[in-house]
């Protein structure tokens, strides 16, 4: 026999109490005899999906936000998932203070309670139904097995991390820790295909890279404004193309989902256009042609850090793999670009369009809060319990 926890059986029609960017989604978690929690409807690699619970399995349904990974636990669910902590709901501090989060069942604002010696941040609890809300980071610390980052054996997790470390030593590229795509990023795939096809045409001589590239001095004298648009689809080498493709694929899938395809396309084009314009205004190397989608992708990076500031990246420094918040990584990235753009000199660095990157980043930082505010209002209109955000 298996135990199906006597909880709700349908998703709550509620807006995420934390980020407000998505309605809560029901997720069933199954704990087998090995003690490991996995998503019950999740297809494991090289294994068929398990449709029938194994004997002795425990199943709990929780409601999660697929954007910020926060989770709503009805009364008693958290105790089942955190069984090793021996009744965590019973050790919640009785002292509380008002919370900005609202109950997913529509009971109004909740109260913040401390969990001494368990997690450093408070959890939110409804005094009427006893439900508990955990933000994404709190959920990972307290119920780690309910997230994909914590599933699997220690051996499997260390093997995965070792493979990432080896790849990063060779490439020095950052890797997302746990922020999977919420759907198929068709526009990202279309952009990558377009970049590849155009670069192939460049290599075969069908497209004149210099003519369609952005040359600041030529634009000022000949007024070939069309190059502010065409330059962002060209690339100077395979390494240039693959580097841009990696960053667009890594960060663009999440932003395409958050923005929607039309607004995501506007972001890419506008960030590239403004980035090119800033380069023309500030560069001192007016005769050098500039090509590449880096300005557009910088806008995507800015949108990512605004939408997912607490997401973490793996980065290898001096052979050591660090897990750093994305806002720290991009804060350093922006500072580096400012220094290189205004103060660096030399043939190797002056050929990089530092100002185009900064201009694209500024577009992303400006547009993203407006888009997210629109999305929150749209989610609030289609759920039974809107959040106060």
**Domain assignments of the chain as residue spans, ordered by start:** 3-151, 156-381
Q: Look at residue 2 and tell me whether its pLDDT is greater than 50.
A: no
Task: Tell how strand 3-4 and strand 58-64 pair up.
Answer: parallel
In total, the chain counts a number of residues equal to 389
| Average pLDDT of span 180-184 | 76
Residues 191 and 103: their CA atoms lie apart, in Å, by 41
pLDDT score of 181 more than 80: no
Average pLDDT, the chain: 79
Span of 78-82, 221-225, 287-291 with lowest mean pLDDT: 78-82
Please compute the mean of the pLDDT values over residues 220-241 and round it to a whole number: 92
Instruction: List the alpha helices (DSSP H) in the chain.
Output: 77-81, 136-142, 154-171, 186-203, 209-212, 216-222, 227-230, 238-259, 261-282, 294-307, 326-343, 347-350, 354-381
Tell which residue, 116, 91, 161, 98, has the closest CA to residue 323. 161
Domain spanning 156-381, CATH class: mainly alpha
Residue 125 has pLDDT above 60, yes or no: yes
Q: Please return the burial class of 59, using the count of CB atoms within 10 Å of its CB with bins 0-12, 13-18 and 19+.
A: middle
Compare 182 and 358 and report the one with higher pLDDT.
358
| Whether pLDDT at 281 is above 80 | yes
pLDDT in tens, 14-63: 999 999 999 998 888 777 666 666 676 655 443 444 444 455 567 778 88
Query: How many contiguous H segments (helices) and E segments (strands) does the chain have?
Result: 13, 14
Which of these, 19, 41, 22, 21, lies nearest to 30 by C-alpha position?
Answer: 41
Whether the predicted pLDDT of 277 surpasses 60: yes
pLDDT (tens digit per residue) in 307-334: 888 787 776 666 666 677 888 888 887 8
**Range with the lowest mean pLDDT among 47-61, 258-272, 343-357?**
47-61
Cα-Cα-Cα-Cα torsion 285, 362, 22, 115, nearest 10 degrees, comes to 110
Query: If you average pLDDT over residues 70-74, what whole number do you get?
Result: 87
Q: CA-based Rg of the chain, rounded to a whole angstrom?
A: 24
pTM for this one?
0.79
């Amino acid at each position: 026999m298996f135990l199906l926890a006597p909880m709700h059986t349908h998703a709550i029609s509620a807006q995420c109490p934390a980020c407000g960017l998505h309605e809560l989604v029901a997720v069933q978690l199954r704990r087998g005899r090995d003690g490991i929690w996995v998503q019950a409807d999740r297809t494991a690699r090289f294994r068929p999906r398990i449709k029938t619970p194994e004997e002795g399995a425990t199943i709990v349904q929780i409601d999660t936000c697929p954007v910020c990974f926060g989770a709503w636990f009805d009364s008693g669910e958290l105790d089942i998932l955190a069984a090793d902590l021996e009744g965590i709901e019973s050790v919640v501090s009785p002292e509380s203070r008002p919370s900005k989060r609202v109950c997913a069942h529509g009971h109004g604002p909740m109260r913040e309670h401390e969990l001494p010696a368990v997690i450093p941040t408070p959890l939110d609890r409804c005094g009427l139904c006893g439900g508990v809300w955990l933000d994404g980071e709190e959920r990972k610390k307290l119920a780690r097995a309910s997230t994909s980052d914590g599933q699997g054996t220690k051996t499997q997790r260390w093997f995965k991390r070792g493979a990432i470390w080896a790849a990063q030593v060779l490439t020095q590229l950052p890797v997302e820790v746990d922020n999977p795509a919420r759907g198929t990023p068709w526009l990202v795939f279309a952009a990558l295909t377009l970049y590849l096809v155009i670069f192939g045409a460049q290599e075969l001589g069908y497209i004149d890279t210099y003519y369609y590239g952005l040359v600041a001095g030529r634009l000022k004298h000949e007024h070939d404004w069309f190059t502010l648009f065409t330059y962002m689809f060209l690339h100077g080498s395979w390494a240039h193309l693959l580097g841009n493709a990696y960053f667009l694929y890594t960060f663009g899938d999440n932003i395409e989902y958050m923005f929607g395809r039309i607004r995501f396309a506007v972001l890419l084009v506008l960030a590239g256009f403004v980035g090119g314009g800033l380069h023309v205004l500030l560069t001192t190397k007016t005769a050098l042609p500039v090509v590449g989608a880096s300005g557009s992708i910088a806008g995507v990076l800015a949108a990512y850090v605004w939408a997912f500031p607490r997401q973490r990246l793996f980065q290898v420094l001096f052979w050591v793999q660090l897990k750093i918040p994305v806002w720290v990584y991009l804060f350093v990235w922006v500072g580096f670009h400012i220094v290189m753009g205004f103060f660096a000199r030399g043939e190797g660095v002056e050929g990089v369009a530092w100002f185009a990157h900064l201009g694209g980043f500024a577009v992303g930082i400006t547009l993203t809060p407006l888009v997210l505010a629109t999305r929150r209002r749209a989610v609030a209109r289609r759920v039974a319990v809107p959040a106060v955000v």
